[in-house]
Structure formats: structure tokens, C-alpha cells
Structure 1
Amino acid sequence: MAGKQWTEDELMIVLGVYCRLTFGQLSQTNRLIRDVAERLDRTPSSVAMKLTNIASLDPAITSTGRKGLPGASALDRKVWSDFSANTETWMPIIEHRLEALLGDKGTDDVEDSAALLPVDYSGNDILAVAKRRQGQNLFRQAVFSAYQSRCCITDIADSRLLIASHIKPWQEDKENRLNPRNGLCLSSLADRAFDQGMISLSDHCEIMVSSALKAQSHNKHIKDMFCANEGLRIRMPEKFLPEAEFLAWHRENLFLG
């Protein structure tokens, strides 16, 4: 297998694994890596090595002094470049291929379509209809793993209280709906505050607090969670750095100032 060339399809699957795992999990002993290696008819060490080649292309990794493994191939660079330039197209494809390989559909975020059903005020159970957003589950996994499943503002680490929040809202930018660099891992309350423009981030990811929220600083929870953190840098992701263009859009269009 030493001379077995990697294909573009295989690299897409490995990129899906990269989205799911933290940098510290890129080891041949990791269960997901072992499962993928078995199905690709490769060794776990070769898959782990390819993952660290991909990591060497991620500016979020290299900017912190970590290098991954040098020697990324021309095809590695092409796949990374294609993915980075067009996540809206590639995220659903990568998610589908990884799920097909593993036989695992995962837990998907859904879009409720119950409004299409007749209104029933009786309180009886009714059948709900849901539409799956392709690629949304992998987007969520990529954002969570980038921030090690911690809110980047409050440091809350219970995944039941966390959301893969969009910097530039879903409805505002079709091309970057699934871009991990358009995502922040936030607690439910921080996500709501961010969506409402009550907080924002500078280009250097420093927390900005609106005057509307500062006016409520007499509330201990508001003060401790937001006002006391003004000017501090968020917990930075270990991959998929927030895109400055999206942060600027949020400040200019949503932030209350």
C-alpha cells in the first residue's frame, strides 16, 4: 500500500474526517480514523498522516506554530483550495461520501416544515415534517471541533447548550452557509445576543458589547457573561479561523453599537 496513490474522492472523505476531529485527535489510534482507514483499504497511520498534511494547509493551524506534517501533495492542495473556495458545494458532497462510507447518517439539524400541515388546536400529537439541510451536520461538527466544543465567549462546555452559530446569517449569504469560517461555537444565550447584534467581534476577534447591553450591566449575569469580557479576545479556534469579511459584515449590519 506504500505506493497506492490517493484519489480526489478519498481526500474528500479525509477532509470530512478533518472537519469532525480536533487537531489533538489526528492519531492512528482514533476510532473514526481507524474505521475510515479500514473502509478505504488503507492503514490508520496513512490516514492520520494525510490528515496532518491537510492540517499543514490550514492557516489556523500554522498561525499558532503548529505545522502538521509537511509534504502536502499537489492534489491535497487542490482539494483544500476547492473546498475553501466553495464550501456550499463541497460540504454536502463530503458529508454524503463520508456517511456513505461509514454507513452513518449522524444527527442532522432539520428545518421544520410543520407549517405545511393543517392547524390543530386540540393538543393531540400530529406528524411533523422535516427537511434536512445537506451539509449542515458536517458544518456543525466542524465548528464544534474547531472550538473544542466550548463557547468561544462564555467557555461553557456542555454541548447541549451550544450552537454552531453563523457570523453572517444563513439567509444573507447563500455561498457561505456551510463555510466553517462563517461559524462560531456559542452558548444559546451568546448566540441569541450575537444574532440580535447585542455583541459582535472586532477583526482581531475581540468582544464588542453594545450600549443596549451595557445599559443592563446592573444585572449580574449580563455583567459577568458579556460586559466583563468586553475587549477580551474570544477563545480562538484551532482550525477554520473566523473570516474577517464576515465579522465586518456583522458589525456593519447587525451590531447595535
Structure 2
Amino acid sequence: VSSYLFTCALTGYSLTTVSNKCIVDAAHIHERRDSKNDDPRNGLALSKNAHWMFDEGLWSVTNELKIIVAEKAFTDWSPEGFSLRNYHGRSLFFQRGCALRPDPKYITWHREHCFLG
């Protein structure tokens, strides 16, 4: 998570407590239980909600690092107007100074095996 500067790649949100706990998880792109792979380029920093939605296949990423959303695979509602659909077509968010990027082979695996769109 520190390699991605503690920032969610979907939303750009970052929150760290004074005791140094952060809201983002290190999420495997190609599931670890299948790949046994802890390569940092097989991961994204994602907030808890974004991580769950990614694992469920509700969104994925193109090889150009654009977000794609499986719009017909879910319904959602939020009083604040948050919708996963709003992220479709946007680029993944990376903090300035963050050089690490996901490897296209892992992104391709996620699209082909997990994405519901």
C-alpha cells in the first residue's frame, strides 16, 4: 500500500489515522489463491468498498489503465450521490510521485476471469 502512497486507485481517496492506519487495502489483481503471486505489479491500493467491488467483478481496468464498470451487473444508491458508474472511463488514480503501475498481464487476467461486463 505504501508503494501507492496510501491512496485508492479507484477513488483517489486517502485517509491515514494519527496511529498510522490507512483506509486502503493491498488488493491482488490476479487472485493470490490462484496465482501465489505477491509481485507489487499484481496489486492495487483500494479502499475497502472499492476492493470488494473489484473482487466481485463489478469493475476492472483496461490495459491503458482506464476504469470499466459492469453497469448491468448491479444496482446502487447513495445519499451522497456516490455511484460506481461515475468512474467508468476515468483513469486509475495515482498520486504524483507514485511510479508503480499494474502489469497489463494481471489486468488482462482480471478482465477475462473476474469482470462481469
TM-score, length-normalised on structure 1?
0.40
1:236 to 83, 94, 99: 94
Contact 1:200 1:207 (8 Å CA) reproduced: yes
1:145 CA displacement: 2.5
Q: What is the SS of the residue equivalent to 1:200?
A: strand
User: Which protein has the bigger helix share?
Assistant: 1
User: Which protein has the bigger strand share?
Assistant: 2
1:212 CA displacement: 1.0
Q: What is the SS of the residue equivalent to 2:34?
A: coil
1:223 CA displacement: 6.0
| Structure 2 letter corresponding to 1:188 | K
Contact 1:147 1:235 (8 Å CA) reproduced: no
Query: What is the alpha-carbon distance in structure 2 between the residues aligned to residue 243 and residue 203 of structure 1?
Result: 9
Q: Which residue of 2 aligns with 1:212?
A: 73
| Structure 2 letter corresponding to 1:249 | W
Contact 2:29 2:43 (8 Å CA) reproduced: yes
Q: Which residue of 1 aligns with 2:39?
A: 179
Alignment of 1:238-257 (within 5 A): 238-257=98-117
Q: Which residue of 2 aligns with 1:196?
A: 56
Q: What is the SS of the residue equivalent to 2:64?
A: coil
* Change in CA separation of 1:204 and 1:223 when aligned onto 2, cut-off 3 Å: farther
TM-score, length-normalised on structure 2?
0.83
For the aligned residue pairs, the C-alpha RMSD in angstroms reads 1.9
* Change in CA separation of 1:200 and 1:188 when aligned onto 2, cut-off 3 Å: same
Q: Any stretches of 5+ residues in structure 1 without a counterpart?
A: 1-143
1:154 to 11, 14, 17: 11
Alignment of 1:1-257 (within 5 A): 144-159=1-16, 160-174=22-36, 177-210=37-70, 211-213=72-74, 216-217=75-76, 219-220=77-78, 224-236=82-94, 238-257=98-117
Contact 2:7 2:94 (8 Å CA) reproduced: no
Query: What is the alpha-carbon distance in structure 2 between the residues aligned to residue 190 and residue 243 of structure 1?
Result: 19
Q: Any stretches of 5+ residues in structure 2 without a counterpart?
A: 17-21
Q: What is the SS of the residue equivalent to 1:208?
A: strand
Which structure exhibits the higher relative contact order, with contacts defined as CA atoms closer than 8 Å and separated by 6 or more residues? 2
Select the structure of larger CA radius of gyration.
1
